[in-house]
Amino acid sequence: MGGTVLVTGGSGYIAGFLIRQLLDTGWTVHTTVRSLSREAELRPRLGGTAETLRFFAADLTSDAGWAEAAQGCSHVTHVASPFPLTVPKDAEELIRPARDGALRALKAAKAAGAGRFVLTSSFAAVGYGHPAHRYVPGHEFTEADWTDLTNPAVPPYMRSKTVAERAARDWIVAEGEGMEFASVNPVAVLGPVASRDLSTSIELVKQLLEGAIPALPDVGFGIVDVRDVADLHVRALVTPGLAGERFLASGPFLTFAQIAKILRRNLGHEARKVPTRRLPDWIVKAAAPFSASIKQVSSELGKHRAASSAHAMERVGWTMLPVEQTIIDTARSLIDQGIVKV
């Protein structure tokens, strides 16, 4: 198709793959980074030329730079959002930048005359705070589901993504006349890495390979390939008639033990540090009061959070790579780049 598109958060994992796919298909790309000092590092990784890829300084917490970044863009995809490795004490540390950043991107897109806005939301805005009977094998969450923020047990990151997506959709109804809005809601995103700046999901695979996780808790998550997530964003940008759409992006739900088995089966000696022992639930629960991170793991014990991607497949013709390939490509890139020493 081509045209000019703003992709926010150009230093991020999903954004990097999305920018490369857009450049490869003839788009001119604007992207935001918190500091233009990152441009020299990112440009060789992302590709393009000075004419086809332009960098702009903009931060989720400030109005500065957003209008300039969106100027001349017919399409916008807002990928930037905080995703910490540790659990903050105050949920507002995540909620404010996630919500306010999405609204800043929307306002800039509207002012620039963009006709299509795609928000990178998350399964975090879909599958949390629900009754226990929905977290069993056989049940799948769909785009109709929303994380229940009235449940105080919903963690800060899940709150931030839910609040941000709801705020964006409310803004579109009230202020976004003439602009089509859609969201992409991926589960845990894995796949090959391009740098040592690792996402939280990739860190889990890294820790398994390094033996930093000594035993395997009864915890799992849905997995999707970063290359497929980028492709779904492109489809959401260019497919006609998607106003209001929401697309879950999820492959199968796998436990830590299943991921570890895939790594050992395919990597042989290079996976020798991957644990084999199971971590009893009682140990996780006993340690939970002393660590916010372990407390979050404890809350996931035994829960099966599966999601259906049938809507994305039917509506925009989306497909996914096999999950085993995704896991092995993740591990192989970590090893090949020397991020994990084997």
Give me the sheet containing 253-255, strands edge to edge: 188-190, 220-225, 253-255
Is 161 one of the catalytic residues?
yes
Within 10 Å of residue 89's Cβ, how many Cβ atoms? 9
Residues 228, 85: Cα–Cα separation, whole Å: 23
Output the CA angle 228-235-77, nearest 5 degrees.
90
Three-point CA angle 227, 156, 220, nearest 5°: 50
Closest to 124 in 3D by CA, of 193, 217, 222 = 222
φ and ψ at residue 130, rounded to 5 degrees: -95, 165
Q: Work out the angle between the directed axes of helices 156-175 and 92-112 (0-180°, nearest 10).
A: 30
Catalytic annotation, pick one of 110, 161, 206, 303:
161
Catalytic (active-site) positions:
161
